[in-house]
Amino acid sequence: MPTSTDTDCVIRVDALSMLYPTKSGGTVQALDDVSLRVRAGEFISIVGPSGCGKSTLLRILMGLSRQTSGQVTFSPSEDTHRNQLGMVFQQPLLLPWRTVRKNLLTSPDLHRTRDAATRAKADELLVMLGLEEFGDRYPNELSGGMQQRVGIGRALMHDPRILLMDEPFGALDAMTRDQMGLDLLRIWESDRKTVLFVTHSIPEAVLLADRVVVMTPRPGRLADVVEVALPRPRRLENINTPEFGEIVLKIRKLLDSEHSAH
């Protein structure tokens, strides 16, 4: 896969750094001089040790945090990029008093834009997510995996070009997590949105991604960006192939060497 250039990418991150103030009056550096290019329709996984700034990077991209220095540029226009982004958090953060369908419609309801088209979009997403029989259920009637599907659906309601996912499967059991990964690939392959996906699981990162961004311990820097030259569509059986194992091993060695250096 060719290297991204400034003319073919939808996200450009240049020399991004982030300092957080501490209660004692000092600062903690979460990110240091991070630069990255992301192409349209690309699936990027981000891995690294806890506290290395993976979530901070997504929050800056989403506009929920403001970097200390550096620049983030979206193409075609930075002015409208917030409407082009969807965010999926570690927890689905569903409203317990609203049904699944009404949780999907939360943003249209808040902005008073609910109409026949948005209701049809919600029903379409319920089918895509395998939840068509659960539209009138409440969150406490769903499994953890189902709740996270609703969280993904809510992020997709306004049809964003870019989907930011902050460890969305971290709280799920192994079997549910595997299935959610396959479901996410199916959804992604249907319209090829640009995805940035934070995870602590190296095999999950490799199974999903076109490239894996490997970050160092805090302050988070880019140790390397690893190409995943595995054919698509991907299946769980790919995990057992020598090619898959080689990529996982390469990423593990990068993380181990960076940990030793710190």
Domain of 128: which CATH number? 3.40.50.300
Per-residue pLDDT at 22: 85
Percent of the chain, pLDDT > 90? 62
- The reply to whether 150 falls in a domain is yes
pTM as predicted? 0.89
Lowest mean pLDDT among 74-88, 94-108, 121-135, 225-239: 74-88
Average pLDDT in the 84-91 region?
89
- The reply to whether 87 falls in a domain is yes
Cα-based distances in Å from 160 to 16, 37, 82, 177: 24, 19, 9, 24
Indicate if the pLDDT at residue 78 is higher than 70.
Answer: no
Q: How many domains does the chain have?
A: 1
**Rounded Cα–Cα distance for residues 145 and 135 (Å):** 15
- The reply to whether 4 falls in a domain is no
Residue 200 burial (CB < 10 Å; 0-12/13-18/19+)?
A: middle
Indicate if the pLDDT at residue 133 is higher than 90.
Answer: yes
- The reply to whether 2 falls in a domain is no
Q: Which residues span the domain enclosing 132?
A: 9-261
- The reply to whether 1 falls in a domain is no
Indicate if the pLDDT at residue 4 is higher than 60.
Answer: no
- The reply to whether 54 falls in a domain is yes
Per-residue pLDDT at 60: 94
**Rounded Cα–Cα distance for residues 189 and 22 (Å):** 42
